[in-house]
Structure 1
Amino acid sequence: MPADDPRTRFRLRGGLRSTTVVLALGAALFSLGALGPVPRSGPAAAPAGAPAASAGTPAARGGGPDATVESLRARVRRLPSDAEGWAALGMAYVQQARSTADPATYGRAEAALRRSLDVQPSGNAPAATGMGALEAARHRFGHALTWARRAVEANPYSAPAHGVLADALTQLGRYEESFEAVQRMCDLKPDSAALARASYSWELRGDTGRAVELMTRSLGAAGTPAETAFARTHLSTLALESGRAQAALRHAEAGLAAVPGDAALLEARARARTVLGQTPGAVADFTAALAVAPLPQYLLGLGDLRLSVGDTAGAEAQYDVLRAQETLRRSGGEAADADAILFEADHGDPATAVRMGRTAVRERPFLAVHDALGWALHRAGRDREALEQADSALRLGTASAPFHYHRGLINRALGQPEAEHADLRRALAIDPRFHPVHAPRARTALSRIGSTR
């Protein structure tokens, strides 16, 4: 499709509009299409296994992360001065780490990318792009932005470099600039990776129909199993968050037929099955996803599902693993993600959650982090401050059921029943079964409001 096709153009300068957003997509995009010649539990989770390379690159042609790593390691052994080969190996390691949740692999990724930069210190856009994707995957978004700009400076015509630039800007809350970067990426090369980011940009601005259209086109343009899995995962999530659970299940199953055992697709099917009341199947899918990658959103999803059916001991077993992961994160000095903040607020110490949230929002002023900090403040009894953060989370008009649910309960605590009613109604209108525990609570709260009117 021509780069100036009006169906691809976003009309970015038209301003921000209300949204239905799969916020998970933002984090997963970090490694989607990141290599040239890149987070459901809740709105902040980042699915594993996002495609690591554009079609046509060495990393893209491998049979999977492990196979790709091995073939590229063989390549750089034969050609130790091959800067592009080292860059491709580095991005393959990033993909492998995202698929397996093994943070040690990030060290190998950095070593390979640094080797590429040693071989070719200047004008090395692939390695700079890879470093940007790596830093984004580590949630070091300021560093990711620096590397992405270096990549764009080295090669202004690199679509993947503009993609990583867009990802970093999005997570730093610089939405208009991120939309411009996505536009440039699509102008240069409207492939599967660019179309996926375009889909996300339309979600952020409230056009779910356009988002689905563009993600469907991303699926049609997919040149690798990873790109296919990515598009199917997010088509499933778009459907689920629009209240279409059967469609969500069909997308997840179609993806698993093409890419068996993909953890993100297993999670997507688990969430669809949860909504459809297929609890044993949902438990099996969450368990299978955890066997591939023990990511926090899978643990939290399975824990919340078990809690919703009265299996308190089973839920606590998942939550205990989450607590252990959080201890490791703190020892490494990393800022918490939104899921960790929400979990601490609900199942730990709200004051600690507030401290985690304040640190996180300084480093990553993204919508989901504002929401998580707002909820932590509410749980700590600081509702006026909480409302400021909840409003920041919804400042783009985001049609997120969890965000509206959180703000609704904050408004209740502030004695504002009309605002509470409006937010809870909005949450259930967006997705009447948005969470196995919180959606029933939202319905109960609405009934209570109705009975007092």
Structure 2
Amino acid sequence: MDKKASSRSGHRVRNTVITLTLGAALFTAGAIGLAPNGNTSGAPAQPSAPARGSLDALQFRVKQMPKDAGAWAALGMAYVQQARSTADPATYQRAEQALRRSLAVQHDDNTNAQIGMGALAAARHDFPTALDWARQATRSDPYSSVAYGVLADAYTQLGQYPASYQAVQRMNDLRPDAPALARASYTFELRGDTKQAATLMHRSLDAASTAGERSFAHTILSTLALQTGDTRLALREAATGLRSAPHDSALLEARARAQAASGNTRQAIADYEAAIDIAPLPHYLLGLGELQQSLGHKQQAEAQYAVLRGQETIRRAGSTPADTDAILFEADHGSPARAVAMAQEALKTRPFIAVHDAYAWALHQAGRNREALGQADQALALGTRSALYRYHRGVIQHALGNNTAARSDLETALRTEPHFHPQHAATARALLKRIDTTS
């Protein structure tokens, strides 16, 4: 990009910033001092994978023109996105092969392949490697908004939050499109400012240029509504998204959680099952399994847990760090000691707040509550508005005999999101009654 084009882009972004009033701390030069999700539970995902026709076209292109580095890079990135939405590990291998083929054709200044390698490493939870590739991409093309998005994601998951804000700032300076605004929204979500996060996600929705971007925005808006206990709004956002994308698994899962929180468990189960039929992602399986277990459907719950155990076997064989869902599942439904080991390994490449929370819970389940409290404090150090994190710390505080602190965390969890979990919400209420009785 030439300097003149860069200037026009920067002027446009500054005007957008002023118009949106996004918050002086993030969208000015002073972004270094900020401290912002683990979805919600992790960095904002990319939109759904390209349509099958797009893959067919790219595969045809590289066969016809095997020296087209750009086509190989595009094919690799398409595979990365497909793997994220289908949970198929083999697709990651195809992605890496395509991206390395692109780099073999054009080794230097191949920004698109470097971006793809960074996204692939992030999808595999190898965030130090993702950071290395993202830095290469931003050096190759300092004006690539997408490269700064990968850089921001890597910094976030590595717990380097001030650096991530700078990357988000730069991304928005270059191009304030839907992905850039979504990442800005996430920084506010991590800091517990769900109102500003929702405002920015609405801006992202307005800026969306693809069906995937619109579906993603509605998914996050539904999740943010649930975080404030507004189940009606959560259902409305998910339903709006599903009208345009009825087979979007993330929207189906978002509606399932909203239905469960509303007490519509039959519809929640149907939505979970529909989402899993499309993509058997671990958090879908765990969500459905624990909902079924809360309803006394032991056999149906165990069916989901069996799939999770199978996925864990595959993960261990591939030496991929565990995600937080796998750690929490192992802590609650398997071996707490193994969950502790999984969390310790995950923290080596992902010292992110969601992993600290999962580690805290695993330590608690293993009876190591003093260590658990330190990890729970780290999980909440940014001010993240997570009922589950608060619940975990409240239970840990109670186990340590700190009833006043336990009551505060448990009450905050239930006030934030009254139906945050099909099993733990009820446990939180019962524990509060026990604390009140014994105090």
TM range (shorter): over 0.9
- In structure 2, the residue matched to 1:79 is 65
Query: Do residues 217 (structure 1) and 203 (structure 2) align?
Result: yes
Does 2:252 align with 1:270? Answer: no
Structure 2, unmatched stretches of 5+, are: 1-10
Of 3, 8, 11, the match for 2:25: 11
CA distance in 2, matches of 1:240, 1:9: 24
Match of 2:408 in 1: 422
Code of the residue aligned with 2:238 in structure 1: it is A
Tell me how far apart the structure 2 counterparts of residues 231 and 25 of structure 1 sit (CA, whole Å): 13
Correspondence 1:148 to 2:134: yes
1:292-344 alpha-carbon deviations (Å, 9 max, x no partner): 11111111000011011111121111111111111111111111111111111
- The CA distance in 1 between the partners of 2:435 and 2:143, in whole Å, is 56
Quick check: 2:44–2:186 contact (8 Å CA) kept in 1? no
Give how far 1:393 is off: 0.8
Aligned-residue offset at 1:76? 2.3
Q: Distance in 1 between matches of 2:87 and 2:389?
A: 27
Q: 2:12 aligns with which of 2, 27, 51?
A: 2
CA distance in 1 between counterparts of 2:98 and 2:22 reads: 35
Q: Is the 8 A contact 1:99 1:293 kept in 2?
A: yes
Deviation at 1:450, TM superposition (A): 2.1
Partner of 1:40: none
Q: Distance in 1 between matches of 2:410 and 2:298?
A: 26
Residues 336-370 of structure 1 show CA distances to partners (whole Å, capped at 9, x for unaligned) of: 11111111111111111111111111221110111
1:180 and 2:180 equivalent? no
Q: Which amino acid aligns with 1:24?
A: N
The equivalent residue for 2:152 is 166
Instruction: Please name the residue that 1:226 is paired with.
Output: 212
In structure 1, list runs of 5 or more residues that go unmatched.
Answer: 33-49, 53-63
Alignment match of 2:97 (pick from 90, 111, 126): 111
What code does the residue aligned with 2:226 have?
A: L
Per mean C-alpha deviation after superposition, the further-off stretch among 201-210 and 422-431 is 201-210
2:360 counterpart of 1:386: no
Decide whether the 8 Å contact of 1:199 with 1:214 is kept in 2: yes
Shift of 1:2: 2.1
- Contact kept, 8 Å, 1:26 with 1:171, in 2: the verdict is no
Alignment correspondent of 1:359: 345
> What fraction of aligned residue pairs are identical, expressed as a percent?
57
| Aligned pair partner of 1:441 in 427, 433, 436 | 427
Higher relative contact order at CA 8 Å, sep ≥6: structure 1 or structure 2?
A: 1
**Backbone CA RMSD of aligned residues:** 1.6
Instruction: Answer yes or no: is 1:23 the counterpart of 2:33.
Output: no
Once the 2 structures are TM-superposed, how far is the Cα of residue 80 of structure 1 from its aligned partner? 2.4
TM superposition shift of 1:16:
4.2
CA offsets 1:67-95 (integer angstroms, 9 cap, x no match): 21111122223332222221111111111
Whether the 8 Å CA contact 2:222–2:233 is kept in 1: the answer is yes
The total of aligned residue pairs comes to 421
Q: d(CA) in 2 for partners of 1:426 and 1:436?
A: 17
TM-score, length of structure 1 as denominator length:
0.90
Higher helix share: 2
> Aligned equivalents of 2:51 and 2:156: distance in 1?
26
1:248 to 223, 226, 234: 234
- Alpha-carbon contact 1:26-1:170 (below 8 Å) kept: no
Contact 2:227/2:385 (<8 A) preserved: no
Change (3 A) 1:97 1:65: farther
Instruction: Provide the rounded CA distance (Å) in 2 between the counterparts of 1:438 and 1:171.
Output: 26
1:373 and 2:350 aligned: no
